[in-house]
Amino acid sequence: MTDTNTAVSSHASEPWPQLEFTDWKDTCETLHLWTQIVGKIRLVQTPWLNHSWHVPLYLTARGLTTSPIPYGTRMFEIDFDFIDHQLHIHTHDGITRTMALRPMAVAEFYQELLATMSAIGLDVTINTTPSELVDPLPFDQDRVHASYDAEYANRFWRILLQTDRVFKLFRSEFLGKSSPVHFFWGSFDLAVTRFSGRPAPEHPGGVPNLPDWVAREAYSHEVSSCGLWPGNEQFPHLIFYAYAYPTPEGFSTAAVEPEAAYYSNEMGEFVLPYHEMRQTESPDTTLLEFLRSTYEAAAKLGEWDRVALERAR
């Protein structure tokens, strides 16, 4: 009990822990695929919502959740617990099953999860091709990705949790249509999006292993979007990002805050490195400066109706 309390106290005293992509690359890639499996279960069981809002995961005080999923008249949810490092399957009729989060291949995770669900009457079939990745291995064949470092998984979740808190504050300042704060398992990022209310030009599509019609529906209207992304092998940096679609003229050269933020031509969006943000005197304030200034650049240059869309802080 003493050790657990000490760990919780230590975590609470460091809300924005250090995390470099290169330190947890293998765990990050494995966890990404695990969340895709769980997310695809929600996808196939849930009625379609605009902009794929029926598929994301959400932050909890212990990890990530699908929120309730229908299975006929039954309801179930799947929760990642990054404190005790378990995956929980709960049903509304009182059944709970638990899997340990431990180093194991994606194929093993896939087989164990679907078998555990089937044993309690939840027979679900998903598309086994990972989304938004180039040349991925099917889940049931992937024995390459098999890493799980509990400490780094916990750190990533804690960063997501604090980001979720700040994003929700930022979201509250907007009266127009805005997405909830979503964790998208396809791109493996936490995001919140504001809409101008006007239709947008047709999106070109071209996202790996994502139907073009899904991307086009997601970007059917003008948006200003921001998020947190852990990085990948090609861009190995944990970042906050912000972009607009369509991109208004002059957006890439707009003045934004804080000073550490910059426009990445490689990414096609504004970037604020996480390690720069967490070292400031007030990380919350620094992040809000980035979110507000990049949105203001998009809204001003895109000629949004800001009087109708914004609420006084």
SS3 of residue 81 by DSSP: strand
Contact 38, 113 (CB under 8 A): yes
Give this prediction's pTM.
0.95
Residues 6+ away with beta carbon under 8 Å from 99: 86, 87, 89, 109, 112, 113, 116
Task: Determine, yes or no, domain membership for 2.
Answer: no
Task: Determine, yes or no, domain membership for 12.
Answer: no
Please give the residue range of the domain that contains residue 275: 155-309
pLDDT of residue 312: 84
CA dist list (Å): 275 to 16, 280, 285: 9, 9, 15
CA 132 and chain centroid, separation: 13
pLDDT of residue 13: 73
Supply 304's token pair. Answer: 């949004």
Last residue within a domain, chosen from 82, 114, 141? 141
Total domains in the fold of the chain: 2
**Tens of each residue's pLDDT in the chain, 313 residues:** 435 454 454 566 799 999 999 999 999 999 999 999 999 999 999 999 999 999 999 999 999 999 999 999 999 999 999 999 999 999 999 999 999 999 999 999 999 999 999 999 999 999 999 999 999 999 999 999 999 999 999 999 999 999 999 999 999 999 999 999 999 999 999 999 999 999 999 999 999 999 999 999 999 999 999 999 999 999 999 999 999 999 999 999 999 999 999 999 999 999 999 999 999 999 999 999 999 999 999 999 999 999 999 998 7
The H or E element that residue 86 is part of is strand 86-91
Same domain as 285, residue 164: yes
pLDDT of residue 313: 79
Contact 11, 87 (CB under 8 A): no
Same domain as 159, residue 137: no
Same domain as 87, residue 129: yes
Task: Determine, yes or no, domain membership for 148.
Answer: no
Same domain as 197, residue 134: no
Supply 66's token pair. Answer: 């699908």
In terms of DSSP bridges, do strands 182-184 and 189-199 run parallel, antiparallel, or are they unpaired?
antiparallel
* Amino acid, res. 199: P
Same domain as 159, residue 125: no
Same domain as 183, residue 94: no
pLDDT of residue 15: 94
